[in-house]
C-alpha cells in the first residue's frame, strides 16, 4: 500500500538557520498539506497546496515559511530563519481528491 514518506525523521538546527523538510506524497494525489504539532499541543494546519500553488495558509504560515513542489514527486517545507518556537513535529499529508488525507510519519524539528 503506498504511503507518504518524510525525511529526515529528526532534524536539529541552530536558531536562525534555514531548514528544509522533505515529503514524498502518494503518487497520484493532487492535494498536499503541512501540519505541525508542538509538544503537548494539538495538530495545527499550516498550508495546503494544489495545482502548483498555495490554496490556503494559516496565520502560523508567515513569511518565514514557504512550500515547493520542485519536481513531480517531492513536496518541501522551508523555514528560512528558524526560531525556538518552531520546534515541533511536522507532518506532511496528501489526498487524491481533497477528502481523506494520508499522513506521513513526521519530522521532529528541534531548534536550539
Partner 1 sequence: AQRVTQPEKLLSVFKGAPVELKCNYSYSGSPELFWYVQYSRQRLQLLLRHISRESIKGFTADLNKGETSFHLKKPFAQEEDSAMYYCALKGRPSNTGKLIFGQGTTLQVKP
- Report 68-87 residues binding partner 1 (CB under 8 A): none
35 is a contact residue toward partner 1 (CB under 8 A): yes
Nearer to partner 1, 8 or 16 (CB): 8
The full 3-state SS of 29-52, as one line of letters, equals: CCEEEEEEECCCCCEEEEEEEECC
Range 62-71 burial, b when 16+ CB lie within 10 A, else e? eeebebeeee
Nearest to 49 by CA among 64, 63, 37, 61: 61
**Total chain residues near partner 1 (CB under 8 A):** 26
| Member of 48, 82, 87, 107 binding partner 1 (CB under 8 A) | 48
Q: Residue 26 interacts with partner 1 (CB under 8 A)? A: no
Binding site for partner 1 (CB under 8 A): 3-4, 31, 33, 35, 41-45, 48, 50, 55-56, 58, 91, 95, 98-106
Amino acid at each position: 500500500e503506498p504511503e507518504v514518506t518524510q525525511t529526515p525523521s529528526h532534524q536539529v538546527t541552530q536558531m536562525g538557520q534555514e531548514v528544509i523538510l522533505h515529503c514524498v506524497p502518494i503518487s497520484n494525489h493532487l492535494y498536499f498539506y503541512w501540519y505541525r504539532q508542538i509538544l503537548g499541543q494539538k495538530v495545527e494546519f499550516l498550508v495546503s497546496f494544489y495545482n502548483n500553488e498555495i490554496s490556503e495558509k494559516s496565520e502560523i504560515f508567515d513569511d518565514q515559511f514557504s512550500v515547493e513542489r520542485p519536481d513531480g514527486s517531492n513536496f518541501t517545507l522551508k523555514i528560512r530563519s528558524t526560531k525556538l518556537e518552531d520546534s515541533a513535529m511536522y507532518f506532511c499529508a496528501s489526498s487524491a481528491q481533497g477528502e481523506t488525507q494520508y499522513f506521513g510519519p513526521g519530522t521532529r524539528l528541534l531548534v536550539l
